[in-house]
Amino acid sequence: METTETLKTAFALDAGEIAERYATQTARGLADAEVIRRRRVHGPNRLREHKTRSAFLILAHQFTGIIVWLLAAASVLSLVLGDLADAIAIVIVLLLNGAIGFFTELRAARSMEALMRITEVRTRVRRDGQVREIDAHELVPGDVVVLEAGDVVTADLRLVTVSNLFCDESLLTGESVPVAKQTASIAPGTGVADRTNMAFSGTAVTQGLGEGIVVATGMATQLGHISTLAEGADADASPLEQRLDKLGQKLVWLTLALATLTSLAGILWGNSVPEMIKTGVALAVAAIPEGLPVVATLCLARGMWRMAARNAIVTQLSSVETLGATTLILTDKTGTLTENRMSVVSYLLDGNDIEVTRDGSDVSFQVPGGGGDPAGSESLDWALRIGVLCNTAQPDLHDGGARIGDPMEIALLAVAGKADLTRTSLAADFREVRQYAFDPERKMMATAFSRNGDIVYAVKGAPEFVLEVSRSVLSDNGPRDMSERDLTEWRERSDHAASTGQRVLALAMKTAATDDEDPYEGLTLVALVCFLDPLREDVPAAIRASQDAGVRVVMMTGDHADTAAKIAQEAGLGTGTLKVMTGRDLAGIDPATSDEEMRAHVLQTDVFARVAPDTKLKLVSLFQEQGHVVAMTGDGVNDAPALKKADIGIAMGLRGTQVAREASDIILKDDAFATIIAAMRQGRTIFENIRKFVVYLMSCNVSEVLIVGIAVGVGLPVPLLPLQILFLNLVTDVFPAFALGLGRGDDETMSEPPRDPNEPIIDRKRWFLIGLLGGAITLATLSAFMLALFYLDLGADTAVVVAFLTLALAQLWNVFSVRRPSLAVVRNEISRNPYVWAALVLCLGLLAIAMGHPALADVLGLHWPGPDGMLLAVSMSFLPLVVGQIFLVLSYLRTSRGL
Ligand code: ATP
């Protein structure tokens, strides 16, 4: 059907020829059966195969690290030295290590890929005569795609209808000014940038409406041609993982040096050379924290899932950690803080106000105080009509009565419907000729209709902006001039309604001879409409939670200052009196040049009202310059630059545009502010968990190195056998570390100020804790070893068993020493973490098997150490726990009393 030749010339054909060539009908689209057939021919509409890491690659990755080579070398060495059992045991350790790494990484990779799929772009397409929303990868050539402002184009389209359609093609052409689209054919040979009758995959619709026939999908699109996107940006390791990786690498060299020194010292003290080489290798293997990045990845992936379950879809892994460090949230109002379930409560007309009252599904119009019947009022009649005519809400095809679109517009349709004014009933009189999409700068939208040979422009928008361009007012006796006094009066009425938290919109119109006038000039004001959009119930609590967490919340809305201030007040924003600024106040401010006083004023503001999209960008920069880590919510096409600039861009899943979604790091499925706070809590918990298991793993590893190092250094017998070290490393370290990584956090998580984003994972306090815990475990183990050797006279073999058991148990109990100092010794986030208990039971079980299974015990050099030996090991194993808890209590007292 489509060859490279036809693709090249799609823009040179006229709309009819294109439909014919692609065997489709613009009005009906393709039939389902045909879609299936074409998909078989053309494949899915994807630029690249979704980057799934194959299980084989993940498996291979497990055997590439230095650790594996060390283990393999150790195994070969054992074989050379004639120690078959050791050689086999090391191979088993190697395989087990690989298996754990493999399953962990596989799970993390798969769960992240599944999350990425949730965020796939959707597209509206006409098929079998109906407009449906489908996943963009299901598009086939010949499909008829329906576009509107805010959409990302998902295939190359030859446009067949457009209404004021503009596309941002900077991705393809580098030109940032949106291109106006049209439908006429263009001369063959025209360059991509000038093919104005095409909408290209990957570009964004910034304004207007349109429909086009898919002429190329997947790699056949222009984007496919120039695409070097070999892989998704999302798959990159997050900064946290990179930092952990670096930490791990540093430790590799340190450990290798220590292991070599220990081996040399042992040989100098007369131990057997092969034995010391094996000990050195085992030490190196044990002490290298090879699990760090893997556990961190698992932890982040798990956190992403938990966030997804709470309706926050994270598209960038690194956002999880940035969320934990966020210090300021710039939130919009409508739909995020409020319900976005609007209902019209009144119409303010020339001369009187009309209340809209509801009784069940019945709606009636009343003049307050019973002052007459509004039926027959010409201005009310026009107000209702404009509400229907200047409206882009569409009927929902899946639900007969419902509509899709802006809730404010749906509310207008609902009220007019009760007065029997619908699009269908008006269609006989009004034929639509043009639509002027909502202009976020001028805060108005318009439609033009032909009626009895005239053109009627129906306009709605923010009152200040509509009033500014209104020259007359519609009274029940027809239009009359708008005097200065009228203007002031209307402004006061609008402000009064806004100050009660209502959202106010102005409706206006004009009649002209042609349809090419500026629709926003010389208008006749018809009415102000007031909507009720209640605050979401959970918002005040969420705002309090963010304040407790040291995170400032600032409102940044396109709405009126008074409406915004009232809602902000109900939500509990700010401290003391609310500080409000409007877009006009901000107009002259440039973050780079404005003076200190002005800047300080802006930085203290709680509510920014009537802000234009470019002001949002300025504000984000300004707050960032002050050292804030900024999270910002947004939904419109024009919010995209600010969303990108913010440290965390948060887009709305329900009402947001695709463009905003593509530009952001987090998508709120329910649009709710409380979800941001829940996600932030997750972000903080994850970072805390990662810190916990790093401290845990490292203190365990330090103890292993110190025990063998010190013993060998001072000429004692070697207290741990190489295979024992490997066993401990595998059993006692890994499972509790995983359990810590899965913790759900605690109540304190959100009562601390945000973390400094530059703070290292392991700060000085934590290094000290690692040293202290590692030192305490070493002391306990060596003491147990020496007591068994010299006091209980249990013999060298049994003393080794006692040392092994002391170390194994002490490492298990050590998990309780990484708790938060401010929580109780017994009831804290660790003791409440069920995974920790499961890990302990599992590890104790494995230890019992290692001791009890004859063959295993033989290989590991283990046996029953007698009641005295056992008692000694168990009691000494608690020493580090006691030391750790004393330290935690002291450090808590020190910080809480400011000592
Ligand atoms: P927020 O920024 O908190 O989401 P908002 O919805 O009021 O609030 P915008 O979408 O920027 O912000 O709208 C700004 C103003 O423009 C609105 O307060 C309203 O007066 C007007 N407006 C919004 N949508 C439309 C529309 N579809 N038609 C006409 N006017 C609109």
Long-range contacts of 93-99 (CB under 8 A, 24+ apart): 93/723, 93/726, 93/727, 93/730, 94/68, 96/730, 97/62, 97/67, 97/68, 97/71, 97/290, 97/730, 98/59, 98/62, 98/63, 98/68
Average pLDDT over residues 603-609: 90
Mapping DSSP onto H, E and C, the string for 549-601 reads CCCEEEEECCCCHHHHHHHHHHHCCCCCCCCEEEHHHHCCCCCCCCCHHHHHH
Residue 400 clears pLDDT 60, i.e. is over it: no
Range of 121-125, 382-386, 431-435 with top mean pLDDT: 382-386
In ligand 1, the atom with minimum distance to the C-alpha of 406 is 27
Average pLDDT over residues 425-446: 85
Average pLDDT over residues 528-542: 90
Residue 845 clears pLDDT 60, i.e. is over it: yes
User: Mean pLDDT across the chain, nearest whole number?
Assistant: 82
CA 660 to chain centre: 13
Residue 458 clears pLDDT 90, i.e. is over it: yes
Contacts of 179 (CB under 8 A, 6+ apart): 166, 167, 168, 169, 193, 196
Q: What is the pLDDT of residue 838?
A: 92
How far apart CA 192 and CA 169 sit, in angstroms, is: 10
Instruction: Encode pLDDT of 277-295 as tens digits.
Output: 777 777 776 676 666 767 7
Instruction: Encode pLDDT of 191-249 as tens digits.
Output: 777 888 999 988 888 877 889 999 988 878 877 776 543 333 334 455 666 677 777 77
Residue 25 clears pLDDT 50, i.e. is over it: yes
Instruction: Encode pLDDT of 693-704 as tens digits.
Output: 888 988 888 888
Give the residue whose CA is nearest to atom 6 of ligand 1: 334
Specify whether 332 is catalytic: yes
Range scoring the smallest mean pLDDT among 64-73, 321-330, 396-405, 631-640:
396-405
How close is the Cα of 583 to the center of ligand 1, in Å?
14
Residue reference for tokens 């939670």: 545
CA 642 to chain centre: 16
Give the residue whose CA is nearest to atom 3 of ligand 1: 333
Instruction: Encode pLDDT of 846-888 as tens digits.
Output: 889 888 888 788 878 888 888 888 899 899 999 998 988 888 8
Question: Which residues, listed in sequence order, are joined to residue 508 by a DSSP beta bridge?
Answer: 459, 525
How close is the Cα of 438 to the center of ligand 1, in Å?
9
How close is the Cα of 408 to the center of ligand 1, in Å?
9
Cβ 40 vs Cβ 139: under 8 Å: no
Instruction: Encode pLDDT of 766-788 as tens digits.
Output: 888 889 999 999 999 999 998 98
Ligand 1 neighbours by CB, cut-off 6 Å:
332-334, 406, 409, 438, 440, 443-445, 460-462, 505, 557-559
Cβ 166 vs Cβ 181: under 8 Å: yes
CA 730 to chain centre: 34
Q: What is the pLDDT of residue 394?
A: 67
Instruction: Encode pLDDT of 552-588 as tens digits.
Output: 999 999 888 888 998 998 888 877 788 888 888 877 6
Average pLDDT over residues 307-324: 81
For residue 830 the two structure tokens come to 């660790």
How far apart CA 492 and CA 298 sit, in angstroms, is: 58
Residue 427 clears pLDDT 80, i.e. is over it: yes
Contacts of 426 (CB under 8 A, 6+ apart): 385, 388, 389
Residue 431 clears pLDDT 80, i.e. is over it: yes
Residue 43 clears pLDDT 90, i.e. is over it: no
How far apart CA 445 and CA 667 sit, in angstroms, is: 27
How far apart CA 745 and CA 738 sit, in angstroms, is: 14
Q: What is the pLDDT of residue 4?
A: 45
Cβ 24 vs Cβ 127: under 8 Å: no
In ligand 1, the atom with minimum distance to the C-alpha of 503 is 18
Ligand 1: which of 338, 340, 443, 635 to mutate, judged by most atoms within 8 Å of the beta carbon?
443
Instruction: Encode pLDDT of 786-829 as tens digits.
Output: 898 888 888 888 899 999 999 999 999 988 888 877 777 677 77
pLDDT band at residue 370 using 50, 70 and 90 as cut-offs: low
In ligand 1, the atom with minimum distance to the C-alpha of 465 is 20
In ligand 1, the atom with minimum distance to the C-alpha of 636 is 10
Residue 647 clears pLDDT 60, i.e. is over it: yes
Range of 311-315, 457-461, 721-725 with top mean pLDDT: 457-461
Cβ 159 vs Cβ 210: under 8 Å: yes
Q: Could you say which DSSP state residue 476 is in?
A: T
Q: Go through the domains of the chain in sequence order and give each one's CATH number.
A: 1-228 (2.70.150.10), 243-308+683-896 (1.20.1110.10), 312-338+536-671 (3.40.50.1000), 345-529 (3.40.1110.10)
Give the residue whose CA is nearest to atom 4 of ligand 1: 334
Give the residue whose CA is nearest to atom 18 of ligand 1: 559
Helix, strand or coil, per DSSP, at residue 435? strand
Range scoring the smallest mean pLDDT among 450-459, 514-523, 636-645:
636-645
- Report angle CA 346, 350, 356 to the nearest 5 degrees: 15
Residue, of 637 and 690, whose pLDDT is higher: 690
Residue 257: C-alpha distances to residues 243, 261, 272, 284, 705 (Å): 22, 6, 20, 9, 11
How close is the Cα of 542 to the center of ligand 1, in Å?
24
Ligand 1: which of 557, 608, 652 to mutate, judged by most atoms within 8 Å of the beta carbon?
557
Residue 296 clears pLDDT 80, i.e. is over it: no
Contacts of 66 (CB under 8 A, 6+ apart): 252, 288
Instruction: Give me the count of residues in the chain.
Output: 899
DSSP string, 198-254: EE-TT-EEEEEEEEEEEEE-GGGSHHHHH----S-GGGSPPHHHHHHHHHHHHHHHH
How close is the Cα of 444 to the center of ligand 1, in Å?
8
Range scoring the smallest mean pLDDT among 79-83, 107-111, 701-705, 833-837:
107-111
Q: What is the pLDDT of residue 374?
A: 64
Instruction: Encode pLDDT of 614-630 as tens digits.
Output: 788 888 988 988 888 99
CA atoms within 13 A on the CB side of 780: 32
For residue 867 the two structure tokens come to 């009641």
Give the residue whose CA is nearest to atom 19 of ligand 1: 462
In ligand 1, the atom with minimum distance to the C-alpha of 504 is 20
How far apart CA 581 and CA 447 sit, in angstroms, is: 32
Element (H, E) at 632: strand 630-634
Catalytic position from the list 86, 168, 332, 647: 332
Helix, strand or coil, per DSSP, at residue 835? helix
How close is the Cα of 599 to the center of ligand 1, in Å?
27
Q: What is the pLDDT of residue 2?
A: 43
